[in-house]
């Protein structure tokens, strides 16, 4: 079967589950992954024959896609800040909103002092897309990352190695303050922690609930700000005076998190909207001691 024929057949299959546009986009991603060729290159080679192995791989991928497995997990890759990251079902699929958070932090550092060697830690690193991107954009940073999931850390380490980013990874349960003892002297903290109350599960897209790791998504209904309280307490102990915390948040939580950090001794607290106009990020500065 030719590249062109296979693309049209795959798209037709996917249209039984996805709308036409999404089916076309997914089919395009699969064909690029299988052939290693861009869309324009495939157009020039439209009548080239695929190998039997390539056709079998496409059939297997189509079966998983039709069962609702996200294309990023099927291809075991996702793009973040124009870089390809390995992903699987042990880690969240990187989102555009998290890119916005990283860009905000980078802009803050560049505006303040782009050449200064700051110590940064990412809490709940998942695929490692945040710390790897920070290190590659600003090589002068000393970057640390932690996660409770050993499987997630293995994926993050794989991404750091593949992209050439020197990161110090830590396997630790952040919810246990007794495990914080080895950490100290950070200038900046960044985190996209779990923040979705369990009661919202039924309102979410099925492929997210069924496929992505619940450990990285959900918090108890009776303690929705669990990780923000912990981050505030950690920052109070481990962040240098004048240091800054950057966090992704639930769209409904901006003012509550502003209040939480203000009560914990932080100032210059800013709630920032994402490209969809939703409160999605918070920056807070630890009050300097004079």
pLDDT, one tens digit per residue, over 248-261 is 999 999 999 999 99
- pTM of the predicted model as reported, rounded to 2 decimal places: 0.94
The predicted pLDDT at position 289 comes to: 55
- pLDDT recorded at residue 288: 67
Q: Give the whole-angstrom CA distance, residue 46 versus residue 40.
A: 10
Would you say residue 86 has pLDDT above 70?
yes
Distance CA 126, CA 212 (A): 11
Quick one: pLDDT at residue 3?
Answer: 93
Is residue 36 a contact partner of residue 88, using CB atoms and an 8 Å limit?
no
Q: Is the pLDDT at 109 greater than 90, yes or no?
A: yes
Check whether 164 has a pLDDT greater than 60.
yes
Tell me which residue of 78, 279, 127, 88 sits closest to 195, measured CA to CA. 279
pLDDT at 46: 86
Q: Mean pLDDT throughout 162-166?
A: 98
Please tell me the distance from the alpha carbon of residue 188 to that of residue 184, in angstroms, as a whole number.
11
Q: What is the pLDDT of residues 3-31, one digit of tens each?
A: 999 999 999 999 999 999 999 999 999 99
pLDDT number for residue 113? 78
Q: Mean of the per-residue pLDDT values for the chain?
A: 95
Question: pLDDT tens, 131-142?
Answer: 999 999 999 999
Q: What is the pLDDT of residue 30?
A: 97
Rounded CA gap, 267 and 244, in Å?
Answer: 10
At 193, the pLDDT band (50, 70, 90 cuts) reads very high
The 10s digit of each residue's pLDDT in 27-67 is 999 999 999 999 999 999 889 999 999 999 999 999 999 99
pLDDT tier, 290 (very low <50, low <70, confident <90, very high otherwise)? very low
pLDDT of residue 272: 97
Give the strand pairing for 279-286 and 266-273.
antiparallel
């Amino acid at each position: 079967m030719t590249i062109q024929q296979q693309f049209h057949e795959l798209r037709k299959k996917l249209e039984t589950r996805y709308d036409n546009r999404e089916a076309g986009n997914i089919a395009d991603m699969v064909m690029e992954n299988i052939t290693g060729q861009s869309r324009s290159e495939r157009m020039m080679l439209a009548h080239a024959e695929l190998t039997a192995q390539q056709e079998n791989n496409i059939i297997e991928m189509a079966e998983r896609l039709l069962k609702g497995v996200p294309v990023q997990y099927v291809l075991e890759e996702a793009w973040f800040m124009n870089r390809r990251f390995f992903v699987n079902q042990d880690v969240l699929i990187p989102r555009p909103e998290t890119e916005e958070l990283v860009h905000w932090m980078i802009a803050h550092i560049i505006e303040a002092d782009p050449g200064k060697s700051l110590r940064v830690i990412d809490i709940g690193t998942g695929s490692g897309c945040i710390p790897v991107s920070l290190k590659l954009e600003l090589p002068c940073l000393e970057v640390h990352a932690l996660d409770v999931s050993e499987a997630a850390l293995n994926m993050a380490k794989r991404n750091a190695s593949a992209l050439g980013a020197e990161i110090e990874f830590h396997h630790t349960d952040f919810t246990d303050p007794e495990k914080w003892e080895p950490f100290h002297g950070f200038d900046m903290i960044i985190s996209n922690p779990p923040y979705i109350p369990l009661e919202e599960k039924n309102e979410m897209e099925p492929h997210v609930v069924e496929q992505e790791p619940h450990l990285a998504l959900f918090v108890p209904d009776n303690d929705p700000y669990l990780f923000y309280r912990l981050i505030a307490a950690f920052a109070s102990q481990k962040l240098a005076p004048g240091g800054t915390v950057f966090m992704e948040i639930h769209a409904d939580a901006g003012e509550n998190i502003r209040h939480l950090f203000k009560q914990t001794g932080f100032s210059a607290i800013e709630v920032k909207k994402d490209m969809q106009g939703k409160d999605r990020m918070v920056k807070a500065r630890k009050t300097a001691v004079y």
